[in-house]
Chain A
Amino acid sequence: MIETLRLLSRRPVALIGLGGVIFFVLLAYVAPLVVSLQDAPDVTSVYLSPSLAHPLGTDYQGRDVLNQIVHGGADILTVAFLAAFISTAIAVTFGSLSATLGGRFDAATLGLTDIVLTIPQLIVLIVVAAIVHPSSFLVMAVILALLQWASLLRQVRAQVLSLKERDYVEAARSLDLGIFHIIFREMLPNMTSYIVIHFILAMTQAIYAQVGLIILGLVPLSGENWAIMLYFARDQGALYFRDSLWYILSPILAIVLFQLSLVSLASGLEDIFNPRLRAA
């Protein structure tokens, strides 16, 4: 862990990524505790340009944009984290079981994985969301996760297949330590780097899908979040007003910068964990 942080500190891109992720987590979860929500409409101050009172201007109802950005991160981050967690759990459990058990279980899992990888996921997601109307975080995260686990599962399976032949795994098997001990205690620690990177990338995918669904208006809207801001910006025609630039750009930049932070962190970690790339 300390070694990882030391290596990370030598890579500016990864460091910026880590800084960005920490910044957005603080912004989304800590800042709302300090700054209270101001969502009372004020028709006298619609689409104001940035000023000291409103650093990012105001929206179509005259509400402060910065205030909405502060209060609009938690939902997006929570759903992304949950979705990444569920999909990683599915991929790791079934990927390693599939590789260790082999046989028909393996064939069935691989077949299902191929199918999930082939279908156009966002379209399926759009149709499912339109029928199911996911109204809670958990339902939303589960739906996102169910379409996300496939590529990680394949990689976990391949990793386990190669780890299976190592001496220490043979030793554990000959001691009859049981399949769950072998998978979770012997093999998993060797795949941590892999899983962490995929977890981060799964979060970016979950954000992509989630924000897309909200912008299209397919998810029941409740509360404040960056994507809902964009939905209303489109719905209210703010896209075509010249004065509303910062109102639209703010949530876009928040999402894009958070995505960029996650991607840079992931690629920085990949450099560190993969010595072959490090040497190059």
Chain B
Amino acid sequence: MSVTPAEVRLAARLGPREVFGAFWTHPVLRAALKAILTIWVTTTLTFFLIRLMPGSPVDLKIDELMQTSNGALTYDDARAIASGLFSIDLNAPLHEQYLSFMGNVLHGNLGNSFLSAGTSVTSIILAVLPWTLFAVGTGLLLSFSVGIALGLLAAYRRNSFFDRLVTTGGSVVSSIPNYLLALMIVVILGSQLRLIPIAQMRGAFSPGMHPGFTLDFIGDIFYHASLPITIFFLTQLGNWILSMRSATLAALDEDYVVAARARGLTDGRITTAYVGRNAILPLVTQFAIATGFVLGGAVVIEQIFVYEGIGLRLLAAINQRDYPLVQGILLITTTAVVIANLAADLLYGRLDPRIGRAGGATG
């Protein structure tokens, strides 16, 4: 086998920069690389916030240990205990602390909760995360599908009464902060009119219910999640209506729609296969961004409705100064959002054949 001069030159040039460059131009690898980078940045940020801030959680814990022991513990003793609690060797140089911390995270070891000794952070998160994902996911999917239908219809009936009602209503409701809407529901529908048994609906499911795939249990979890779902649905709906409406209006002007009409295709076929399909594309990316936004808002919403999800746990952990748990929840939620974005990126490439070909337009 003869080696051409070009191949020799290529092999010689294949340094780390070229490999990185090759990763960067490939759309799928690039999306994956970005996802990993994002998780890494958040992890690093939390590590340094917890380790280096004046009055950082580690310092606070040491102070607390010394105070509660009434002088029985010296600073070094307290520091040693804190080291154990944070699974960080505080005597090691900072970069070694960082490396061992990252190593633990990579092995899925997020440490132990301060409060319930021996309970791993991972197990606590696994117990509450599904409820949040369930409420947020249902709310988002519901608002996405209803919003798209209404937006499409509004665009078709541009400037009609229906169009005005839907767009104004949507933009008014979506500019109300979601937790204020939640407070209004509690106050007006719950306390004033007594239409909703707010207290009964707390938690992720009724006490005494046995988790399982029974009709009762599924009904029960929907019952308990219905208020958060309603809030996510109402406050996101307007965005989807407005985005879908303007995307549809833009698509309606395209030449291929005119051509499809000229070819005598039915309106139904034009709406679904030509207009709708193209109008939905940009909304896929927005969906991923909305996931992050709604997940953040869920912390406040869960607090207001006392829904046993990850947000309620995060607040409890913050109030109890349970920092390993705080850090773990931050990492998990970030990872969840990053994965949603990655999925949207990949899905977008599949849905729109123009993307990803010949390193075409991205971002």
Shortest Cβ distance from A133 into B: residue = B55
Interface of chain B residues 293 through 307 with chain A (CB within 8 A): 293, 295-297, 299-300, 303-304
Q: How long is the Cα–Cα vector from A114 to B37 in the complex, in angstroms?
A: 10
Q: How long is the Cα–Cα vector from A126 to B341 in the complex, in angstroms?
A: 21
Does A53 sit within 8 A of B, measured CB to CB?
Answer: no
Stretch at the interface among A58-66, A77-85, A184-192, A240-248: A240-248
Q: How long is the Cα–Cα vector from A124 to B39 in the complex, in angstroms?
A: 12
B183 touches A126 (CB 8 A): no
Q: How long is the Cα–Cα vector from A114 to B341 in the complex, in angstroms?
A: 11
Q: How long is the Cα–Cα vector from A125 to B314 in the complex, in angstroms?
A: 12
A252 touches B180 (CB 8 A): yes
A242 touches B34 (CB 8 A): no
B34 touches A115 (CB 8 A): yes
Q: Which residues on the A side are within 8 Å of B314 (C-beta)? A: 123, 126-127
Q: Which of A212, A239, A241, A245 contacts B177 (CB 8 A)?
A: A212
Q: Which of B53, B176, B289, B295 contacts A132 (CB 8 A)?
A: B53
A242 touches B334 (CB 8 A): no
CB distance from A76 to the nearest CB of B (A): 12
A128 touches B175 (CB 8 A): no
- Known contacts A123-B295, A130-B326, A252-B180; A216/B334 CB under 8 A: no
A118 touches B249 (CB 8 A): no
Does B8 sit within 8 A of A, measured CB to CB?
Answer: no
Q: Which residues on the B side are within 8 Å of A260 (C-beta)? A: 172, 175-176
A211 touches B333 (CB 8 A): no
B297 touches A122 (CB 8 A): yes
Does A267 sit within 8 A of B, measured CB to CB?
Answer: yes
Stretch at the interface among B89-97, B108-116, B184-192, B271-279: B184-192
Shortest Cβ distance from A112 into B: residue = B41
The secondary-structure label for the interface of chain A is helix
B184 touches A252 (CB 8 A): yes
Does A1 sit within 8 A of B, measured CB to CB?
Answer: no
CB distance from B307 to the nearest CB of A (A): 15
Contact code string B160-175 (vs A, CB < 8 Å = 1, else 0): 0000000000011001
B175 touches A131 (CB 8 A): no
A280 touches B249 (CB 8 A): yes
A117 touches B289 (CB 8 A): yes
Interface of chain A residues 94 through 120 with chain B (CB within 8 A): 110-111, 114-115, 117-120
Does B125 sit within 8 A of A, measured CB to CB?
Answer: no
Does B140 sit within 8 A of A, measured CB to CB?
Answer: no
The secondary-structure label for the interface of chain B is helix
Q: Which residues on the A side are within 8 Å of B293 (C-beta)? A: 120-122
B326 touches A127 (CB 8 A): yes
Q: Which of B171, B190, B337 contacts A119 (CB 8 A)?
A: B337
Does B203 sit within 8 A of A, measured CB to CB?
Answer: no
A215 touches B179 (CB 8 A): yes
Does A160 sit within 8 A of B, measured CB to CB?
Answer: no
Q: How long is the Cα–Cα vector from A117 to B42 in the complex, in angstroms?
A: 12
Does B38 sit within 8 A of A, measured CB to CB?
Answer: yes
Does B146 sit within 8 A of A, measured CB to CB?
Answer: no
Does A22 sit within 8 A of B, measured CB to CB?
Answer: no
- Known contacts A130-B318, A131-B50, A248-B187; A124/B180 CB under 8 A: no
A120 touches B296 (CB 8 A): yes
B249 touches A120 (CB 8 A): no
Contact code string B37-60 (vs A, CB < 8 Å = 1, else 0): 110011001100110010011000
Interface of chain A residues 255 through 279 with chain B (CB within 8 A): 255-256, 259-260, 263, 267
A239 touches B191 (CB 8 A): yes
Q: Which residues on the B side are within 8 Å of A121 (C-beta)? A: 292-293, 296
A255 touches B180 (CB 8 A): yes
Q: How long is the Cα–Cα vector from A255 to B179 in the complex, in angstroms?
A: 12
Apart from A115-B41, A242-B192, A249-B184, 10 more pairs, CB < 8 Å: A114-B363, A119-B292, A122-B299, A128-B49, A132-B53, A211-B177, A216-B300, A234-B304, A239-B183, A252-B183
User: Which residues of B approach A to under 8 Å, CB–CB?
Assistant: 34-35, 37-38, 41-42, 45-46, 49-50, 53, 56-57, 171-172, 175-177, 179-180, 183-184, 186-188, 190-192, 198, 249, 289, 292-293, 295-297, 299-300, 303-304, 314-315, 318, 326-327, 329-330, 333-334, 337-338, 341, 363
What are 6 contact pairs spanning A and B, CB under 8 A?
A115-B41, A119-B41, A119-B337, A121-B293, A211-B180, A245-B192
